[in-house]
Amino acid sequence: MKITKIKIKNLFGIKEYEAAGKSLELSGRNGVGKTSVIDSIRYALTNKSEREYIVRNGETEGEILIETDTGLRINRKARTQQADYKSIKKNGAEVQSPETFLRDIFTPLQLEPVEFMQMDRKQQNAMVLDMIEFDWDLKWIKEKFGEIPPDVNYEQNILSVLNDIQSKNGYYYKRREDINREKRHKDAFVQEIADEIPAGYQAEKWENENLGDLYQRIEQIRKDNETIEKAKRLIDNRNNKVRKFEADKEIAISALDVEFSNKKARIEKDILKLEEQIRAYRLELTNMDEKKQDKVSAIESEYKANIAKYDAEVEEYHVYADKDPEDVTELVEEAQYIEEMKGHINEYRRMENLQDEVEDLIKESCELTRKIELARELPGTILESAQIPIQGLTVKDGVPLIHGLPISNLSDGEKLDLCIDIAIQKPNALQIILIDGVEKMSTDLRKRLYQKCKDKGLQFIATRTTDDEDLTVIEL
């Protein structure tokens, strides 16, 4: 699509201007209207202007009309006292959604291609990558990665998006570093625990070990051992006990003999002195032997009772007397060992949990690695099927290369060629380039630019500041 007619009236600094579909260079000093021509065309295509005043000073309406060889007619009128006017027709019929239609027939760089030369590296890379035509959306991203990766600017082209996803500053890479750091931390904890736990430790065995039964058995044996020792002592000491009981008996009888002999002597002496009491004393004397015998019988009975009681106690322990005490040393050591093993259970279970967590971290880290590698591989897959409008364009690690070189390594001439290629990336759209201020270029670069446009079959309108007082229009 090429412009066949341009007509401007009372826009910016232009009173009237008209041109056919030719490539032109507009020259002259500042203020003669060179840039106003380009700004008017930009205004026609975008309905925008960086200038505060669009209508020429002193007028109430300014107009631009553009016609193309495909039947497109663009007519805009800027007004100061009423609403602006626009009419976008194709073959005589009004175009639906005209502003959207216009945005689709040119690229912004067509209107200011030299700006590409002045952009920083990141902006240039983004603009080149935007040229690669590949149909994608967030659904495609989710299908590839199972999610929408966070911390990514999805307003970029797909190759820049994938580069951000796999970047060392990206979410996946940083998350993987965090996971691997956490894994190393947990591995260290696991090793510390493992160093404290005996080799071949079986937590299930020691958890199920019934230590209470073992302690009950030990206690029963200890009680039996005490009974055995007591039985042996009782039997060994029986004769001594019997002698003690017999001595107690003899002592008690001897005491009675002394007591009654003394008492009898006193009574007999008292009889001599106290005749009046002879009858009473004799009666008492007569009964004294019987009383003595009663007490002797009581002592004998107590003696026999003590013997019987002690023999019964001895007989009770006879069953233990012939036994040897059982050594519980091994059982005690076993109990102590079980106690020690049980003491490791909590740490062992903690170690198992940590190991499970480490396994989960390894899986997550591997999955993140897979996604990072996927983000690195997908650009190659995309470039195999995508439409690439620039010859020699490849992409490595998210950086566009022209014949193997990054844009920052290109010469000014090569950048200029690339600039034109980018500007006309829509081959069926409007084939015109607007170049404001070519005097900023070297003569060689300017000639190269003009020749590049001619070789591409492009119309172009360029402005060049000179010392001429009037606007000069040169057809190229």
238-268 pLDDT, tens digit per residue, is: 777 777 888 888 888 888 887 788 788 777 7
At residue 203, the pLDDT reads 86
On the 0-12 / 13-18 / 19+ scale of CB atoms within 10 A, 125 is buried
Class of domain 3-106+427-475: alpha beta
Is the per-residue pLDDT at 280 higher than 70?
A: no
**Contact call for residues 90 and 72 (beta carbons, < 8 A):** yes
- For 436-453, what is each residue's pLDDT tens digit? 888 888 888 888 888 888
**Contact call for residues 74 and 66 (beta carbons, < 8 A):** yes
**Contact call for residues 29 and 465 (beta carbons, < 8 A):** yes
- For 393-448, what is each residue's pLDDT tens digit? 888 877 888 888 888 888 878 887 888 877 777 767 888 989 888 888 888 888 88
- For 162-212, what is each residue's pLDDT tens digit? 889 999 999 999 999 999 999 999 999 999 988 989 888 888 888 888 888
At residue 234, the pLDDT reads 80
- For 312-341, what is each residue's pLDDT tens digit? 877 777 777 778 888 888 888 888 988 888
**Contact call for residues 433 and 458 (beta carbons, < 8 A):** yes
**Contact call for residues 178 and 171 (beta carbons, < 8 A):** no
The owner of tokens 């003696």 is 303
Give the C-alpha separation, 64 to 8, whole Å.
4
The pTM of this model reads 0.56
Task: Please name the amino acid found at residue 433.
Answer: I
- For 78-132, what is each residue's pLDDT tens digit? 999 999 999 999 999 999 999 989 888 888 888 888 777 778 888 888 877 777 7
3-state SS, residue 318? helix
3-state SS, residue 71? coil
160 vs 7, 165, 321, 399, 439, CA distance in Å?
A: 41, 9, 96, 8, 34
Give the C-alpha separation, 45 to 99, whole Å.
8
At residue 369, the pLDDT reads 94
130 Cβ partners below 8 Å, 6+ apart? 157
Give the C-alpha separation, 30 to 49, whole Å.
19
Give the C-alpha separation, 247 to 398, whole Å.
116
393 Cβ partners below 8 Å, 6+ apart? 128, 131, 132, 400, 401, 402
Give the C-alpha separation, 345 to 366, whole Å.
31
